[in-house]
Amino acid sequence: MGYYVPSTESEQGEMLRKIGVGSWKSLFSAIPCELMIDGPDIPDGSSEIEVRRRMESIAVKNRVYPSIFRGAGAYNHYIPALVKQIVSKEEFVTCYTPYQAELSQGTLQAIFEFQTMMCELTGLDVSNASVYDGASAAAEAAAMCREKKRGKVLISGASSPHVINTVKTYCYAANAEAVLVPARDGATDPDALRDLLDDETACLYVQQPNRFGIIEDAGTLGEIAHAAGTKYIMGVNPVAAAVLRTPSECGADIAVGDAQPLGMPLSFGGPYVGFMTASNDMARKLPGRIAGQTVDMSGDRAFVLTLQAREQHIRREKASSNVCSNQALCALTASAYLTVMGPGGLRDVARQCFSKAHYAAEAISGIKGFELVYAREFFHEFVTSCPIDPSLLQGELDKRGILGGYSVDGGLLWCVTEMNTRGQIDELAAALKEATAR
């Protein structure tokens, strides 16, 4: 790929003129100036050892925290060495969308296994080959549900802000209405939901657990939505799904989420992978593609693209999505992780997250000024009040190599996973006591 030149300078200039932009730098005007590099960071003609030294000097600026108590959508889980070994194989690093099935059997099988595992996690009938991330999956799911007479999308106000903003962006582009369902005591308000449902409502999106870590009464919310003829979408954490009621058991028509907890490192926010599963009656509305299993002319097991909703090629005016690819390498990572861990291993991770989070919540809430904000059951995230400025508190925690909770309305959102030891939790509690005693 190093020899591939996508366009000449004159062609680039013509494209910029077409969109009314003076230079390519203008395309990145939303990025603050202090984050932009003025000129090449590595001088032309540098030797290999000079480049290595320069890159190492940049890398040491990264702050790696030995103790992480922050989640809010990206979670610090243990990744078995075998997972990295598998996905680092050259055959997989370059894998992409399989256009020719007869030449892509390995990639198609990997996608098929990913789809199968996502269906097992969610209890639903069919899965697609993945999309960009969890927020995109939620927005695509809402688009699946919109119809001519039902275009309004309801989103739980207790959902991740990233998901809410992405769904709203998709709805804006489609001239569809997106309405937030208010939260009460940290969870979706069922009474407010009933008031907002009408004959124009296409779907309801609820996150489980929600952005505050609270376990929603997902079954009841689904019943309320279905009673009004509305489709029900659940956004789920795949680790929590190992021990909570499945979306299928809660009556969901579609289940989506981000598979980042399944073997993907934090990596400054990506790349991650969004999964989408649905009931059989929604299968043909799934965006992207679905890999399926069949037999070849010799009767041997083979894999194909069973469904490929590519209206954007031939019937663009009828397309409900312009997704035409998938996160094949990240999906493979999730498949490798789930295979290595097995059902019992994944449940053990979920149980450790749950029990350690509750131990941490008890330890933190026992400190004056750090009371639990919501008296509800939670999975591995919870909110406490904070008696001092959160940025000042994090400054104190920095000295101990601790990444503290994420600032939200009402306090700090803490996250605990299987990676956090009892000693780390006790050290955190001691650090909080010391920071607030001054």
Per-residue pLDDT of 200-217, as tens digits, reads: 999 999 999 999 999 999
Per-residue pLDDT of 407-418, as tens digits, reads: 998 899 999 999
Query: Do residues 106 and 231 touch, judged by C-beta distance below 8 A?
Result: no
Per-residue pLDDT of 343-402, as tens digits, reads: 999 999 999 999 999 999 999 999 999 999 999 999 999 999 999 999 999 999 999 999
Better pLDDT: 264 or 63: 264
CATH class of the domain whose range is 81-336: alpha beta
Q: Residue 1: pLDDT band by 50, 70, 90 thresholds?
A: very low
Better pLDDT: 36 or 15: 15
Per-residue pLDDT of 105-160, as tens digits, reads: 888 898 999 999 999 999 999 999 999 999 999 999 999 999 888 999 999 999 99
**Domain limits, CATH 3.40.640.10, in the chain:** 81-336
Q: Residue 314: pLDDT band by 50, 70, 90 thresholds?
A: low
CATH class of the domain whose range is 67-76+342-437: alpha beta
**Domain limits, CATH 3.90.1150.10, in the chain:** 67-76+342-437
Q: Residue 274: pLDDT band by 50, 70, 90 thresholds?
A: very high
The distance of Cα 431 from the centroid of its chain, to the nearest Å, equals 31
CA distances from 408 to 5, 186, 387, 425 (A): 45, 12, 14, 21
Q: Residue 41: pLDDT band by 50, 70, 90 thresholds?
A: confident
Query: Do residues 167 and 137 touch, judged by C-beta distance below 8 A?
Result: no
By C-alpha distance, which of 263, 256, 267, 295 is closest to 118? 256
The CA dihedral of 192, 197, 203, 208, to the nearest 10 degrees, is: 20
Query: Which residues lie across from 383 on neighbouring strands?
Result: 413
How many Cα atoms sit within 13 Å of 329 on the Cβ side?
Answer: 15
Beta strand spans in 130-214 (E): 152-156, 178-181, 183-184, 187-188, 201-208
Q: What is the pLDDT of residue 15?
A: 92
Q: What is the pLDDT of residue 315?
A: 62
Q: What is the pLDDT of residue 312?
A: 46
pTM score of the predicted model: 0.89
Q: What is the pLDDT of residue 377?
A: 97
Query: Do residues 155 and 178 touch, judged by C-beta distance below 8 A?
Result: yes
Phi/psi at 308 (5° precision): -140, 95
Per-residue pLDDT of 213-235, as tens digits, reads: 999 999 999 999 999 999 999 99
